[in-house]
A and B are shown apart, each in its own frame.
Chain A
Amino acid sequence: MTAKPRRTFRVLVAKPGLDGHDRGAKVVAAALRDAGFEVVYTGLHQTPEMIVNAALQEDVDAVCVSILSGAHMTLFPEILDLMKRKGMNDVLLCGGGIVPPEDAEQLNRLGVGRLFGPGTDTRDIVEYLTETLPVLRPAG
């Protein structure tokens, strides 16, 4: 197993849009919980507003968004934009799903963190968050 994070980080696992594919989101939520994160799962069919409001209310360190519906080029920028407008500059937005590499590169350039595709080992997600969050959000 990967080393435990230095403090307990809070993570929102979110399913935006109309997409009902929640197998991956649930597996990731369980894996992050087992790795010592505090996990809040939004459930399905959330709008970007609902997700960003939940992230604010729950005071999370990261928003992990799962999209398998092909709507990623619309939904990620909307969520990112709302997060910026609410001043959540130190909160990580990352995610996973079926996102073609060139789309992922474009989203990375906008400021979205890593996007994990099918076949990802959940330990890679844990490692990524464990390395990224202490830098982004030192001393909770």
Chain B
Amino acid sequence: MNEGRSRFPGTIVPADKPVWGPEDLKDFDTVRDLGDPGRYPFTRGPYETMYGGRLWTMRQFSGFGSARDTNQRFKYLLEHGQTGLSVAFDMPTLMGYDSDHPRANGEVGREGVAICSLRNMETLFDGIPMGDVSTSMTINCTAAIMLAFYVACAEKQGVAAGRLRGTIQNDMLKEYIAQKEWVFPPEPSMRIIVDMIEFCADHLPKWHPVSISGYHIREAGSTSVQELAYTLMDGFTYVEYCLKRGIPVDKFAPRLSFFFNSHMNFFEEIAKFRAARRIWAKRMKNRYGAQSPESWRLRFHTQTAGCSLTAQQPENNIVRTAVEALAAVLGGTQSLHTNSMDEALALPTEQAVKIALRTQQILAHECDLTEVIDPLAGSYFIEALTNKMEEECERIFAAIEQMGGMVPAIERGYPQREIAKSALEFQRAVEEKRYVNVGVNEHVEGERPFPILKIDPAMEREQAAELKRIRERRDNAAVNRVLEEMRRAAREGRNLMPPIIEAVKVETTLGEIIEVLKKEFGEWREPPIYW
């Protein structure tokens, strides 16, 4: 097999077309299709000055073990020049189980930090001024409870909710599509999300209540086009549900934010980021009648592709991550997470995380990348690819709209099945060497030991012991009272955020709140399908 013929699986870049020219951009209109940076349709970037005004935020996703362990990692990252925090939670926290629940057995603190009480959140932010840092929390079906912990914890630090800056992922549609962490069926999940958007619009004006995420869709095996189309469709779905609630579009849309993957198909990724901004701006203006440019402006966080990392020859991942990060910067990202080289093996060590952060710092300061905005604009290839990305998305939007929208499409397993197909095609391309994956199917070496992070199993017992102490010392009558009030709010269709905040203030745990809501809303079961 000739290595030169290696092609990225599922790419929309045609094979055998090495030269692009004016004939590929016949109907191109620089005013209509590009505009200026910071101006509709925002193809060139959401802000007028871009990185000349402010660098992207370097935000490394981290969390493991106990709240104390992660608090130390946060402080380490802040000391080394990171500019925002990003919390990774463990599986039980993400799925609504307290650390002492039988289903949490063996999973506590493994893939992130365990946070199931207000006390845990206080430990996590001990010594970190919540009024000054911006925090991103990757959590979805239990997002309302985590936001309540955050608000209550800040209040104890003397920081009012209105001052809090950050993002909570809270994007359940992509959970059903790709990441697969859920409790309730889609409709009650949508109701809780709209409750949170509404609550934040009123009380946390600097908070992003949803981060509409393509990252996990891509990690599950989608192509770039599928990632973009499903993510934007999810975004439009949230907009439609908020409009149905009666929230004016310009009141909530400016706080919606996005989160994309950056994989190894370099130019296609840059086109994806540019197309994302243009498609969003057009629909927000033309279909949903948004008047404020803030509602048209798509801003996004990027994470380099975890699924591009190889367990073989882990050091090579530093290079992969650097290339992916470069695409994100050229595509105009607002914040960035660069993966660590050891993440196909375990959660990253401090040393590996530091190199990943240094990668961003090198891009930011050593390469003259920040002087010129959208430097690839006008390239025949990039502009044609950006147009093609938009056309392909419109085709997928039409298919989903035919099914009655994203919620019915998910219920019938459409995006899930399409992603599984693409994942299988990727694997086949690697196995048949149509795509060369260095160290995996070419240039293979024998395995050798590599130092990885170990999680202390004792922390699971410590978490359980702390929960026991909390349940003994708190006012259990008050807990029952607030839970009953929350149940009524759930039944009567009132906004759930105020009663959930009241509940966490009297030290009700994550699992206790979820159990009550499960009885009201039911549980989601996905039909087991593979392609």
Contacts and interface: CB of A to CB of B under 8 A. Distances in A.
B2 interface: no
Contact of A118 (B344, B452, B530): B344
Interface of A: 13, 17-23, 25-27, 29-31, 41-45, 47, 69-71, 73-75, 98, 100-101, 117-119, 121-123
From A43, A47, A75, residue with most partner B Cβ within 10 Å: A43
A100 B450 CA distance: 10
Contacts, number: 107
A105 to B, nearest CB: 12
A17 B310 contact: no
Contacts of B103: 17-18, 47
A30 B530 contact: yes
Contacts of B423: 23, 26-27
Nearest to A124: B431
A42 B529 CA distance: 9
Given A69-B91, A119-B311, A42 B107 contact: no
Interface stretch (B43-51, B92-100, B275-283, B480-488): B92-100
B258 to A, nearest CB: 21
Interface in B403-445: 420, 423-424, 427, 430-431, 437, 439-441
Given A42-B528, A122-B431, A71 B110 contact: yes
7 contacts: A17-B106, A27-B427, A30-B420, A43-B527, A118-B310, A119-B437, A122-B427
Contacts of B80: none
A106 B530 CA distance: 31
B528 A41 contact: yes
Contacts of B439: 119
Contact of A18 (B94, B220, B307, B525): B94
A117 B91 contact: no
B418 to A, nearest CB: 12
B420 A71 contact: no
A51 to B, nearest CB: 12
A18 B107 contact: yes
B305 to A, nearest CB: 12
Given A20-B181, A44-B528, A98-B311, 20 more contacts: A17-B106, A17-B107, A19-B111, A20-B175, A25-B530, A26-B423, A26-B424, A30-B530, A41-B528, A43-B527, A70-B346, A73-B106, A74-B105, A75-B106, A117-B311, A119-B312, A119-B440, A121-B441, A122-B431, A123-B431
B180 A22 contact: yes
7 tightest CB-CB pairs across the interface, nearest first?
A: A74-B106, A43-B528, A20-B180, A70-B110, A18-B91, A26-B530, A71-B106
B452 A18 contact: no
B221 interface: yes
A69 B220 CA distance: 15
A29 B424 CA distance: 10
Contacts of A73: 106
Nearest to B104: A18
B526 A118 contact: no
B234 interface: no
A37 B447 CA distance: 30
B368 to A, nearest CB: 35
Nearest to B454: A100
Contacts of B220: 22-23
Interface residues of B, number: 49
B345 interface: yes
Contact of B92 (A13, A18, A118): A18
Contact of B311 (A41, A44, A74, A118): A118
Contacts of A44: 180, 526, 528
Contacts of B526: 43-44
Interface string B216-228: 0001110000000
Interface string B470-507: 00000000000000000000000000000000000000
Contacts of B97: 18
B90 to A, nearest CB: 9
Contact of A98 (B104, B344, B437): B344
B455 interface: yes
Given A30-B531, A43-B526, A119 B310 contact: yes
B436 to A, nearest CB: 13
Given A41-B528, A98-B345, A69 B310 contact: no
B127 interface: no
A30 B426 CA distance: 13
A116 B91 CA distance: 22
Contacts of B437: 119
A121 B440 CA distance: 9
A98 B347 CA distance: 10
Contacts of B123: none
A45 to B, nearest CB: 8
A23 B106 contact: no
A29 B105 CA distance: 26
A101 B449 contact: yes
A17 B424 contact: no
A31 B344 contact: no
B179 interface: yes
Contact of B346 (A21, A47, A75, A98): A98
B12 to A, nearest CB: 21
A43 B180 CA distance: 11
Contacts of B307: 23
A101 B103 CA distance: 26
A18 B311 contact: no
A69 to B, nearest CB: 5
A75 B528 CA distance: 20
A122 B346 CA distance: 22
A25 B424 CA distance: 11
Contacts of B179: 20
A58 to B, nearest CB: 13
